[in-house]
Chains A and B, each alone.
Chain A
Amino acid sequence: MGQFIVRRLLQAVGILFLLSILFFILVNLAPGGPLAGYGGARHLPPEQAVILRKQLGLDKPLPVQYVIWLAGNDWMRVDQSAVASGTSYGTRRGILRGDFGFSFQTRQPVLTVISERLPNTLYLMVATLLVALAIAIPAGILSAVRQYSFFDISVTTFSFAGQAIPDFWLGLILIIIFYAWLKNPVTGDSLLPSGGILTIGVPFSLLDALQHLILPLATGALGWVAWYSRFLRSSMLDVIHQDYLRTARAKGLSERVVIYKHALRNALIPLVTLFALDLPYIFSGAVFIETIFAWPGMGRLYYQAALQRDYPVLLAILIIGAGFILLSNLLADILYAVLDPRIRYS
């Protein structure tokens, strides 16, 4: 197992390296370069553009820019004529040493920008996934235990529908219903806010936070509930008809113990690994939901960075996102082996 993990980690490093080159090339393919979207001003005066180009290090050939992005430039002499006279060592340390550079838009370090947004995404995604699991697990179990019952057919139909409803549409519909149509009977305002994470300019209250959370959470949770309940139902059905359950029943165990102790434990194994595979979403967020509900999280940050050509931010989110995917794939494999002793990696 140890060997397996080490080998997979080494592979992951290799893949990440290749992806870093791919992402760097992709991002730089845009015509006009990052200055075309700089500061919202599409047409900088040419002399300013030259200075800016130098300041941002965009005057160098792409391979050099890549090396600086990857490994920094504090080990080589850099022409500083844009800011001061003469040459000196650079200040970039490169992503290998945790320096993701500065956002072209806000001039803040990329990691600062991300650390401002990440908690919001974590908050939304963790809440969404917890609610989704809390609904999907009982629904999946019951639906499998009472296969072909009315409840089962409802759950199956619901999960088909839930997977076919695009979240960007559901979000709009929920806003129409809960913001535009339904009114709060006491105050006469809209029942729920249409976006944002908290009401601005009002002291924090839990109720306000919850009101802002409900719609984005519901929008996101629907798809997850559909997906997880359907998955758990089929893995539960897979287990329910196995011989060891017949044995358990023959021993005289109650149906409750048979289902919840013997069957559920094995049926949850695939769900746990599936859940591990979905963990990267907790980092990268939900682009559509955050865009619709003006939620200041990672997904919206990425969307805005793509619009504004904020290369350092785009690159950071892409590479960290890919890293999370690789790690969660490994985690899923490890969990699978830990939970199911029949599986051994050589």
Chain B
Amino acid sequence: MIKQLDLKTSVGKTKIGPKSQDTGFQSKIWKRFSRHPGAMIGTIVFTVLVLAVLLGSLSPYSAVNSNVLERLQSPSWHHLMGTDALGRDLLTRILYGGRISLAVGMMVVVITLFIGVAFGAVAGYAGGWIDNVLMRITDAALTLPSLLVLILISSILREIEMPFFEKNNVVTIAVVIGLLSWMTFARLVRAAFLTLREMDYVTAARGLGASHLRVVLAHILPNAVGPIIVESTLQLGYAIIEESGLSFLGFGIQQPTPSWGNLLSNAQENFIKYPWLAIFPGVMIFLAIISVNYIGDGLRDAFDPYKVLSKVGEV
């Protein structure tokens, strides 16, 4: 529906024709992407965030060790974002917390991609009763009140001792969030596979003796990559917000490991007197999500074959 809309609405304003030189699919996508101002700014902001987070260890302060002499200082040249109740430099904790939050986000994307693509590809390619069973499972998963289930599972997991899944570390939280959010991928990939598997080139590949696995991985999947990439960026945003929400409630990443969410949760105790504790972690979450969403928006336009270049990012 949205694709159609773009086609119809922008037709009047476009200059198709001599200007668009055909220099291959990828460069075309890049060209479209780079003309989307929101997406470009988003890319820059997100890159800066990732770099800052990676360079966090250059900070002269420790992210976990307390320093009683410097408790609750307001932002200054020494502590750009102030210090927390244990005297830890907030900027340092935010940078380390960013590693955790972004790592959870990216792991969720990988997990949901893995489950969702597997589900969707098998369902769409096989069809018949397999499709039916897999899609009913997807439907059932979509009826879960996901935030409530997320709270429940993580509240349980934070008390269980298990190898790899101890005490709500990055992996645990990512797996829990991932298990509850692969469904969009499954539907998306299935829809793409349903149309693609009927194409002549697929029949040709089969006729040439390619195995089902090869057809799926080498011939169909690459053609479904556009929507998958777009959805991945959106998923990254959701995952970051869900991790911070969980940690905010105290069910996510546990202290003293910082994450953007549990920094906010910590701030709750005395944020009225020390507002910087609440302001900065939230700004980071906001910047990460809005930049990722704009990148996703730009990618959606770039991968949309009907989309014609326009000045404003389409919804």
Contacts and interface: CB of A to CB of B under 8 A. Distances in A.
Given A169-B278, A176-B271, A280-B145, A18 B140 contact: yes
Contacts of B245: 166, 168, 288
A166 B285 contact: yes
9 nearest CB pairs, A to B: A169-B282, A164-B290, A164-B289, A321-B145, A241-B8, A234-B315, A238-B5, A172-B278, A30-B156
B313 interface: yes
Contacts of B271: 172, 175-176
Given A160-B294, A164-B290, A169-B286, A306 B155 contact: yes
Interface in A19-49: 19, 26-27, 29-32, 36
A321 B160 CA distance: 26
B264 interface: yes
A153 interface: yes
Contacts of B285: 166, 169
Contact of A168 (B9, B160, B264, B312): B264
A311 to B, nearest CB: 10
Contacts of B281: 169
A326 B143 contact: yes
Interface string B288-315: 0110011001000000000000111111
A287 interface: yes
Interface stretch (B19-27, B110-118, B146-154, B166-174): B146-154
Nearest to B140: A15
Interface string B262-292: 0010011001100100110110011001100
A324 to B, nearest CB: 8
B258 interface: no
Interface of A: 15, 18-19, 26-27, 29-32, 36, 147-148, 152-153, 156, 159-161, 163-166, 168-170, 172-173, 175-176, 179-180, 194, 230-231, 233-235, 237-238, 240-242, 270, 280, 284, 287-288, 291-292, 302-303, 306-307, 314, 317-318, 321-322, 325-326, 329
Interface residues of B, number: 52
Contacts of A234: 1-2, 5, 314-315
B82 to A, nearest CB: 14
B283 to A, nearest CB: 8
A180 B275 contact: yes
B29 interface: no
A306 B152 contact: yes
Contact of A156 (B2, B148, B315): B315
B244 interface: yes
Interface of B: 1-2, 4-5, 8-9, 38, 139-140, 143-145, 147-149, 151-153, 155-156, 159-160, 237, 241, 244-245, 248-249, 251, 264, 267-268, 271-272, 275, 278-279, 281-282, 285-286, 289-290, 293-294, 297, 310-315
B5 A26 contact: no
B233 to A, nearest CB: 13
Given A284-B148, A317-B148, A147 B241 contact: no
B14 to A, nearest CB: 13
B147 A287 contact: yes
B249 A291 contact: yes
Q: Which of B5, B267, B312 has the most CB of A within 10 A?
A: B5
A26 B152 contact: yes
Given A31-B160, A180-B272, A152 B9 contact: no
A156 B264 CA distance: 28
Contacts of B290: 160-161, 164
B167 to A, nearest CB: 12
Contacts of A153: 312
A124 to B, nearest CB: 16
B279 A302 contact: no
Contacts of B311: 148
A29 B156 contact: yes
20 contacts: A18-B140, A148-B312, A160-B38, A165-B282, A166-B244, A168-B244, A168-B245, A169-B264, A172-B268, A175-B271, A176-B271, A176-B275, A231-B315, A235-B1, A238-B4, A238-B8, A292-B268, A302-B148, A303-B249, A318-B148
Contacts of B310: 148
A18 B294 CA distance: 39
Contact of B151 (A29, A230, A287, A329): A287
A284 B149 CA distance: 12
A172 B156 contact: no
Nearest to B7: A241
A240 to B, nearest CB: 8
Given A26-B152, A176-B272, 12 more contacts: A27-B152, A30-B159, A166-B245, A166-B289, A169-B278, A173-B278, A176-B279, A238-B1, A238-B5, A284-B148, A318-B152, A325-B144
A161 to B, nearest CB: 6
Contacts of A241: 5, 8-9
B153 A26 contact: yes
B145 A230 contact: no
Contacts of A176: 271-272, 275, 278-279
A288 B275 CA distance: 19
Contacts of B294: 160
